[in-house]
Amino acid sequence: MRTAPGEHGYARPVEGLVVVVDLDAGEVVEVADHGVVALPPQPGNYEEPWIFEDGNVPAVPAYRDDVKPIEITQPEGPSFTVDGHAVTWQKWHLRIGFTPREGLVLHEVAYADRGTLRPVVYRASLAEMYVPYGDPAPTHRFKNVFDQGEYGVGWLANPLTLGCDCVGHIHYFDGVVNDNDGNPVTIPNAVCMHEEDAGIAWKHTDFRTGAVQVRRRRRLVVSTIVTVGNYEYGYFWYLYNDGTIEYEVKLTGVISTGAIAPGEVPAHGTLVAPGLYGPHHQHFFCVRLDMAVDGPRNTVVEVDSAPSPPGPDNPHGNAWQVHRTVLASEAGAQRDTDAARARYWKIESADRTSALGAPTAYALMPGGNVPPMYSPDALFAPRSGFTQHQLWVTAYDETQRFAAGDYPNQHPGGQGLPAYGAADRPLEGGDVVVWYTFGAHHVVRPEDWPVMPVSTVGFMLKPTGFFDGNPALDLPPAADHCHE
């Protein structure tokens, strides 16, 4: 309920009322009224400072006046070059793609190493995004949205704005999708690409001589931002000049809200304003990585660290070792993160070894993660089988593109990754696809209202024996400072 034009659309939810509509017939089929709850009294506006006629205190009484300008300039232009959708930046080579369902896609990501272009990832894309809510109330229990499989994040991409969404010397890519009648629609500036300073790349001070060496780190940023109802999601790929690849999701926008009677405390959410609460919920993202580390034949290895047993080989009790487990087939390649073992996964070349004799590899380094909080018996659990494990590895199949299956809102369950992995195809030394699922756990805070500060979640792909040494050793020192 909006009491004035432009008022916050989630500040005064009509609680307890559920309406079923036949969209084909254009008719109301059922109205379920679970009882009247008073509308929350505050408007929750956040767009600009203003005072309301009804005397409500505005969320933004005035803009802060102590923010000085920061100018980001590149007087010689950017370090990247663009030819159509092909991009070269320092030693990185890749192609930028875009689809209606997946949104931003990276293709043929490779790194030029001493004159040789070495492939790392053939195709990288978001394979599903799923948001289940943990509130059993009638108006919230059905919220379990497959935002990609049911809607498509490409269709929902924002036209990005220089100076707001992206800062610096920007190159934009349009997104071309179709409308509901199949006609082509262009989303201008759907993808933003620029480069950023990312702090120090490496540094050492020789305390014996006082000699100091330091180099600045830089990254290429390729991003898109989508609006899915109340939430905004920013999908960011970062390519660093030390060979690291990072994927980061930035969550912002507006929480889904519910009204509650004055004086009551929500059992499955957090009070964010008088009479207004945000239900507990989670966000799950699954990224599909069609790997090609030094070629199409790869092997995935799980790497765990564990204390060594006490004995003659560990007399002081300080030793620990690294243990490798080859994920040889799909049935054994459904794995979970384990912080107690510092678990990560290596994608190793089956054909190339480093100067030290080990297979060249990239490591998938998990970031923050969380398992599903809903019961396996939940009504929607069979459709979200890809969240059962954080890592899945499958043999390449061009028809297997989406973690929850092609049509997650129509199948009864079991489709997608559970079905792909059930074939138990061999993986070792093959053309493998790595699927990584990571969850953002959202116990809502009052600070998330009326618009949510950005929260981030993601992972990294780091070279691990891919290079013979530090690939950023050749970064030049800053020309105008740091060194004489």
Q: Which residues are catalytic?
A: 147, 231
Integer Rg of the chain from CA: 25
Distance CA 31, CA 128 (A): 32
Distance CA 434, CA 20 (A): 40
DSSP 65-110: S---------TT--SEEEETTEEEETTEEEEEEEETTTEEEEEEEE
Residues near 372 by beta carbon (within 8 Å), at least 6 away in sequence: 132, 282, 284, 381, 384, 387, 388, 439
Q: What is the DSSP letter of 210?
A: -
Contact 136, 151 (CB under 8 A): no
Distance CA 289, CA 180 (A): 29
Assigned token pair, 406: 């092609």
Token match 């494990």: residue? 389
Contact 198, 217 (CB under 8 A): yes
Sign of the Cα torsion 47, 130, 190, 459 reads positive
Contact 300, 139 (CB under 8 A): no
Contact 243, 202 (CB under 8 A): no
Tell me how far the alpha carbon of residue 320 is from its chain's centroid: 33
Q: Are strands 86-89 and 80-83 parallel, antiparallel or unpaired?
A: antiparallel
Distance CA 280, CA 32 (A): 23
Residues near 16 by beta carbon (within 8 Å), at least 6 away in sequence: 33, 34, 35, 36, 37, 138, 139
Distance CA 218, CA 463 (A): 16
Assigned token pair, 314: 């560990």
CB count in 10 Å sphere of residue 19: 10
Assigned token pair, 198: 């990312």
